[in-house]
Amino acid sequence: MRFAGVSRRSRIGALVAGAALSLVVACSPSDGGSGSDNPPSASSSASSSASSSASPSSGARSSAAGFDALSGVRVVAAGDIACAPGEEVSTTTCRQADTARLVGEFRPRFVLPLGDLQYDDGDLQDFEGSYAKTWGKFESITRPVPGNHDYHVDGAEGYLTFFKSQTGGRSYYAFDIGDWRYYALDSNCSDVDCDEEAAWLDQDMTANPRKCTAIAMHHPRYSSSSEHGDQEEVSPLWDVALRHDADLALAGHDHDYERFQAMDADGNVTDSGMVSFVVGTGGKSLYDEGDRDEGSVLFYNERAGVLDLKLGKDSYGWRFRNVDGETIDAGVHRCR
């Protein structure tokens, strides 16, 4: 696996409250489907619409059959993960040990944490006392992105120190996963120069074209949660990805699971857009549903869980499973 990236930049003026961390993935016809984890140097869906009371359905089960049949590199994603050491576990809070157990059951090639990995402030001591004891068991295959809580420590120092071997000390970078190229982006635009990052993304996607492209973020471009909701500030990163025909976007930030139809960066459902997922269900807590967004297919906030993905040569499959072992959403989508 080859990494390409740039170092964390100095602050830009205005605080972007809802900055989104975006992960972009792209497909190539050449690689045989295996990934490498050498660290860097220092749209159709069979699932029906659902509300916050979503529960497993025959649609989810039949779609899971399509997921099971798909061949591809397996990765697992979720954000908003670990409570501070010593916080009490409940039905809906501090479930990081249970989501880590799920990750292990899926035996992924890579683990993709989607930001806000250690609450409340991303302190290195808390990372070592909580995250390391749960999701930390996947250290060698983890490729993270930072969230806003990770920047509560100046410069995300705790995050960058804890994940130095995985990221090379960079806050955004790119690497290959089998037929896909994966972009782990930093959308905390009050702490990094996101215009410079967008230019880097454009340059790298131009230099590394793939058949299938996808993006994911810490803060989502679209979200129906009552807590944060849509993050318009990430539109420039979406715009770059869409110019390169990206297909898939992953995000956290809002503590729920939600899947959207293919959308452009301006709020329109379109076949030329990206399918996006909010997966802020890594364990910390869960948020209420707000007004349902245009393009939202399914919203779920009853239990923590993780998104199991297969990245194939010309398509991808998804399955969201909660900590009770229930498959809430599943399907297969062909790249554009």
CA angle 261, 267, 270 (to 5 degrees): 45
| 190 within 8 A of 15, measured Cβ to Cβ | yes
Distance CA(10)–CA(322), nearest Å, equals 38
Q: Catalogue the E-assigned strands of 108-256.
A: 110-113, 172-177, 180-184, 213-217, 246-251
Distance CA(298)–CA(60), nearest Å, equals 11
Distance CA(100)–CA(152), nearest Å, equals 24
Distance CA(295)–CA(262), nearest Å, equals 8
Burial class (CB in 10 A: 0-12, 13-18, 19+), 140: exposed
CA angle 238, 60, 179 (to 5 degrees): 45
How many alpha carbons fall within 13 Å on the CB side of residue 86?
A: 2
Reading the chain (336 residues) residue by residue, the pLDDT tens digits are: 444 544 333 333 333 333 333 344 444 333 333 333 333 333 333 333 344 445 555 556 557 888 999 999 999 999 999 999 999 999 999 999 999 999 999 999 999 999 999 999 999 999 999 999 999 999 999 999 999 999 999 999 999 999 999 999 999 898 888 888 889 999 898 888 899 999 999 999 999 999 887 777 798 999 999 999 999 999 999 999 999 998 889 999 999 999 999 999 999 999 999 999 999 999 999 999 999 999 999 999 999 999 999 999 999 999 999 999 999 999 999 988
17-45 CB burial, b ≥16 within 10 A, e <16 = ebbbbbbbbbbbeebebebeeebbeebeb
pLDDT at 43: 34
| 112 within 8 A of 250, measured Cβ to Cβ | yes
Distance CA(116)–CA(82), nearest Å, equals 8
CA 60 to chain centre: 21
Q: Is 248 left (phi over 0), alpha (psi -120 to 50) or beta?
A: beta
Closest CA to 170 of 60, 302, 274, 42: 42
The pair phi, psi for residue 205, each rounded to 5°, is: -70, -30
| 204 within 8 A of 246, measured Cβ to Cβ | no
